[in-house]
Amino acid sequence: MTAGASKAMAQADIPLFVQDVINTGCDICAIGHDGYVVGDSDLSEEEYDIAAPELERIKERYGDRDLLRQEIAEHLRSIGRYVDLGSPA
């Protein structure tokens, strides 16, 4: 890897990545079929102070996820963690 290049997440790591995010107490769900969000807005300030460094470690551990956005969304949908666009949820 060259200087400045970032590690790319492997598709096989998607289930582990999702579980690691869930373990922080943050909600993660697919939005439609092509994207996802990591929700930390429901956390109290104390919970966020604990989760934020852990989320940073997860980001470093798994690397760039941009090219796997759709695959991550597909996995989240397969485990029931999704919101369809236009739904009242």
In a domain, 74, yes or no: yes
Residue 4 forms part of a structural domain: no
Q: pLDDT value at position 44?
A: 85
In a domain, 50, yes or no: yes
Give 45 or 18, the one with higher predicted confidence: 18
DSSP 22: H
pLDDT per residue over 19-52, tens digit each?
999 999 888 999 999 999 998 767 888 988 888 9
- Total structural domains within the chain: 1
Element spanning 61, H or E:
helix 45-62
Residue 46, domain member (yes or no)? yes
Instruction: State the residue range of the domain holding 72.
Output: 11-83
Going by pLDDT thresholds of 50, 70 and 90, the confidence category of residue 67 is: very high
Quote the pLDDT of residue 5. Answer: 53
3 found inside a domain: no
